[in-house]
Copies of this chain bind each other. A is one copy, B any other.
């Protein structure tokens, strides 16, 4: 039935990123999802948990112990769950794409520093590629082990990379504010996510010391390690991240110069759009219109009276910030068109 399709397994398929993986992969011309696990929902149809997939698939969840060999294994487990079991997963599939933070950081000392524990499989860290195609396309093509990226990290790193790569900004002071939707906190009920408490909030999620800082520092270290001050704020939305980054230019560049830098970096990227217009009400990136899409929209505005530059980027945290980005990476790993099954544009209005 699968013809020449590759067989894909999803481990940890009842969460929001697992559900998005499944949604995207079900539409992929070269993929057959052959197995998907959930310990608590084992035996149930996936559409009981992911109701949008009703009538699209008759898959049922299985337990992790029932996993069989396949061509690619996507790991969508809670952070900390995959790092100790990676050898077992590697026996099941020649290629692994992990969506958690377990293999994102290259420097093993970053785990005790940011995650308060040693990494149990340090030797695996160097096998994984940080899987944002716009940052590491060639490495991803040649790798069998790819890690997804943190959603806030993706928005900030993609927004700032061209400036840092060219050494245009002061690396000593970067203030990054991300506004995130509720799906970023996962699907486990809690008081902080209970609708009467969560609805309509602008709530500090983390003022200082957010773990995604480690990824951002890692990815923006072109020479010096930058000082990132990242604050994450929960806002009323289910999906979406808006990152606003305040950086300070070393030289007095004009906006047209900055345009050139971004166009050069991203002009041929299929999933990055530079959004900076004078007309209409969508003059800068807005996550609202990105739900379900794999785009990362990026814009910027220079302060007329100083060397401050505000860089704005927006993504769907579950797509470009998680599942979509990982499917894009898979497409690269198999030499397919990078955009396969990621064609959905997002809705307007939404």
Contacts and interface: CB of A to CB of B under 8 A. Distances in A.
A310 B175 CA distance: 11
A344 interface: yes
Contacts of A70: none
Contact of A23 (B200, B236, B347): B347
Contacts of A181: 196
Interface string A225-263: 001010101011111101010101000000000000000
Given A189-B194, A195-B195, A345-B52, A200 B236 contact: yes
Residue of A197, A235, A238, A350 with most chain B CB atoms under a 10 A cut-off: A197
A286 to B, nearest CB: 5
A25 to B, nearest CB: 12
A304 B238 contact: no
Contacts of A53: 345, 348
Contacts of A200: 236-238, 288, 350
21 contacts: A27-B343, A51-B348, A54-B273, A177-B177, A182-B196, A182-B199, A183-B196, A187-B197, A187-B349, A193-B194, A193-B196, A196-B238, A198-B199, A200-B236, A202-B240, A202-B314, A227-B306, A229-B246, A236-B237, A291-B350, A292-B347
A1 interface: no
Contacts of A348: 16, 19, 23, 50-53
Contact of A203 (B27, B182, B196, B286): B286
Contact of A349 (B55, B197, B236, B343): B197
- Copies of this protein chain in the complex: 4
A242 B232 CA distance: 13
A198 B195 contact: yes
B349 A202 contact: no
Interface string A86-118: 000000000000000000000000000000000
A196 B16 contact: yes
The 6 closest A-B pairs by CB, nearest first: A196-B349, A51-B282, A236-B236, A202-B242, A207-B301, A195-B198
A264 interface: no
B203 A284 contact: yes
A156 B314 CA distance: 25
Contacts of A198: 195, 199
Contacts of A308: 208, 229
Contacts of A187: 191, 194, 196-197, 349
